[in-house]
Every structure is written in C-alpha cells, then in structure tokens.
Amino acid sequence: MTVDDCTILQLPKIPDVRGNLTYVEGGVHVPFSIRRVYWIYDVPGGEVRGGHAYRTLQEVIIALSGSFDVLVSDGVNRRTIPMNRSYYGLYVPQMMWRQLANFSTNAVCLILASNPFDESDYIRRYDTFVAARSAE
C-alpha cells in the first residue's frame, strides 16, 4: 500500500431543491464493513488531529461540513488531500500515517472505520511507523 492507494470515493448524491442527500452503505460504497463511526468537530483554528497510523484499521474520511486537509504518508511519499465536499470520502488503508489539519471554522470530519476502537492497533510514533513499513 502506498499513498496512491488513498483514493477519493464518490458517494451517491441525490440532488433536491429541498436540500441534497448523500448516503453510504458499508461494503457497497466503502470497501469494508463499517464497525464504528465517529466525528471530529469544534476544532480550534490551527489545531492538528490524528497524527498516527493504524496497523489493521481501514477508514473513510468525509468532510461533512466545512473543509480540512488530510496529510498521508506511507513512510516514503507524502500527499495532502483537501477535503471540502460532503459527497466525497477519502479511503485510507491500514498502515498509512495520517494527520488532519487546516480545519475551517465549523468543520465536521466524519470517519467510518472498519474496526472498533482498539488502542493497540495505533502506531503513534512516526519513527516506529517508518521502521514497521521498511520491515514489510
């Protein structure tokens, strides 16, 4: 897996003059069964979240409201993906360093995760992550 495996998924969008509607089904619009959903909100200006990797967890990151950047690294290459549409999801596979930054005012970041919360699945040090990637 490289940063090129972090792909933008276009989610179904039902346009309507009363307001648009987007939905997501696990295993259909995202390539895994959704086991957990969480969201990040009320982020003060300039704050950064999520500097870590997961050993096994896959996720889809959605800018439900506002905008932010997702920075991903596979230990060799890096990419910055701007998220600003609520019908796009960024798929991030396991063993990818990822950080969320440059949140706009009132941004809401929704995350669909393939696993329940498990601290032992986290890699929280970048040097540990790079060492684990180069040992693959």
Of 100, 48, 98, 102, nearest in space to 73 by CA? 98
The one segment of 3-11, 48-56, 75-83, 102-110 that binds ligand TYD by CB under 6 A: 48-56
Q: Which of residues 102-121 bind ligand TYD (CB under 6 A)?
A: 117
Examine the residue annotation and report whether 29 is marked as an active-site residue of this protein. no
Pair of tokens at residue 1: 């897996």
3-state DSSP assignment of residue 3: helix
Other CB atoms closer than 10 Å to residue 70's CB: what's the count? 21
Q: Torsions phi, psi of 100, nearest 5?
A: -115, 130
Site for ligand TYD contains 38 (CB under 6 A):
yes
Site for ligand TYD contains 23 (CB under 6 A):
no
Site for ligand TYD contains 85 (CB under 6 A):
no
Instruction: By CB under 6 A, name the binding residues for ligand TYD.
Output: 36, 38, 49-50, 52, 117
Catalytic residue annotation: 52
